[in-house]
Amino acid sequence: MTPLSGFAAVILQYHHVSSETPPVTSISPEQFLQHMTYLKDNHFKVVRLEVLVDKIRKKQPIDDKTIVITFDDAYNNVYQNARPILKKFDWPYTVFINPKYSDKGYSRHMTWKQLNQIAKEKATLANHTLSHDYLVRNPSNRPPKRWLYQMLDDIELAESRLKAITGQNHKMLAYPYGEFSLALTRQLMKRGYVGFGQHSGAVGHYTNLARIPRFPASGIYANLDKLKLKMESLPFAIKALGNADMVIKQNPPTLTIAVKVEDFLAKNVQCFIGSARAKVSWTSEDRFTVTSPNPLPKERSRYNCTAPSISKPGRFYWFSQPWLNLL
């Protein structure tokens, strides 16, 4: 069946919900309530993450303005501060867990008892690896293949621990720090996993399930005036990506995007790296390349591409390519 385009879901990513934790990964309970109130007042439809993934897999229609709420790291303040708000709205949400933290009883994180309790309410519990290691960086300079299989074992162990204690086994993995590689995602897809990053973008039937985008909504991204546009963003119908391994081999990398050009004009596609305009070159009717004008900085960065919708004025198609520069 031909994938459907034009339907839009957005996944929001939160960490801490507290005024006392590091601002860069936190949102205050008041501001979190403000986000949720905005979603309700503006008729967004909040669904479970596994329901959205299932619809993408089965090519079933996705309601426009679908939202998924996710939290990484299972912080105790999510239980204390976000849970009561989400209960009030009667909305589902997903918590990505590092089982080792709950096994060790770290006080900043939810206990297994708390996790099982939120699961009985409306929470989905999912995999954030056993102990939150970097999946791509190889600290001990082990042979790359050995490191890859060690990380895959870590992910599988986390999944079986989740299943054993909570009964939940969705094979949904949020990459720690949003870092992944092509070698890793290929193995994960073979094993039936879907993977979530921290690069921005809307989700639809063309979304690659190995690298599902989420909009960070904490810290500097918590500002609702800016977040509104992201909540309403639309997914490009991307048919193929070339040179899209997050771990760059050349600097700057040139990304090739083959896309269905519908409901936007090719000339209106703009891409940025930080605040700098990236060069967009259309090489055919449905294919363009993006290159940063400058070498990428060390560590993580991304190309963000947007185009205004013709049929939905004020809304934007949105795609982001994450990069990891370890050169």
Task: Give the pair of three-digit tokens for residue 179.
Answer: 């870092």
**Measured distance CA(22)–CA(20) in Å, rounded:** 7
Among 50, 72, 179, 232, binds Zn ion (CB under 5 A): 72
Helices then strands, counting H and E runs in the chain, come out as 9, 18
Nearer to Zn ion, 216 or 253 (CB): 216
27, 36, 62, 73: which one contacts Zn ion (CB under 5 A)? 73
Name the burial class of residue 189, with classes exposed (0-12), middle (13-18) and buried (19+) by CB atoms within 10 angstroms of its CB: middle
Cβ(176)–Cβ(135) below 8 Å: yes
Of 73 and 263, which CB lies nearer to Zn ion in the complex structure? 73
To Zn ion, the closest distance from the beta carbon of 176 in angstroms equals: 5
The greatest distance separating any two alpha carbons of the chain, rounded to the nearest whole angstrom, comes to: 56
Instruction: Report which residue's Cβ sits closest to Zn ion.
Output: 72
Tell me how many residues contact Zn ion (CB under 5 A).
3
Q: Which is nearer to Zn ion, 2 or 107 (CB)?
A: 107
Nearer to Zn ion, 50 or 73 (CB): 73
Least separation in angstroms between residue 225's CB and Zn ion is 26
Query: What sign has the CA pseudo-torsion 23, 27, 28, 31?
Result: positive
- Bridge-partner residues for 302, per DSSP? 322
59 vs 137 by CB, closer to Zn ion: 137
Residue with smaller CB distance to Zn ion, 24 or 265 = 24
Separation CA 18–CA 2 (nearest Å):
44
> Based on CB atoms, which residue is closest to Zn ion, 176 or 213?
176
Question: Which residue's CB is nearer to Zn ion, number 63 or number 133?
Answer: 133
> What string of H, E and C letters represents the secondary structure of 31-66?
HHHHHHHHHHHCCCEECCHHHHHHHHHHCCCCCCCE
Q: How far is the CB of 326 from Zn ion (least distance, A)?
A: 19
Residue 179 binds Zn ion (CB under 5 A): no
Prior bond to 297 cis, omega within 30? Answer: no
Q: Report d(CA 241, CA 211) in Å as an integer.
A: 12
The region of 73-81, 165-173, 283-291, 311-319 touching Zn ion under the rule CB under 5 A is 73-81
Minimum CB separation from Zn ion for residue 72, in Å?
Answer: 4
Whole-number Å distance between alpha carbons of 216 and 199: 8
**Smallest gap from residue 73 Cβ to Zn ion (A):** 4
Question: At closest approach, how far in Å is the CB of 61 from Zn ion?
Answer: 32
Tell me which stretch binds Zn ion (CB under 5 A): 64-72, 143-151, 290-298, 312-320.
64-72
- CA pair distance 110, 25, nearest whole angstrom: 17
Segment contacting Zn ion by CB under 5 A, of 42-50, 56-64, 111-119, 169-177: 169-177
Q: Which residues contact 2 (CB under 8 A, 6 or more apart)?
A: none
- Rounded to a whole number of angstroms, the minimum distance from the CB of residue 175 to Zn ion is 9
Contact pattern for Zn ion over residues 210 through 249, marking x by CB under 5 A: ----------------------------------------
Nearest to 283 by CA among 307, 255, 309: 255
What is the smallest separation between the CB atom of 261 and Zn ion, expressed in angstroms? 36
Q: What is residue 322's three-state secondary structure? A: strand
Minimum CB distance to Zn ion smaller for 193 or for 288: 193
- For Zn ion, the binding residues (CB under 5 A) are 72-73, 176
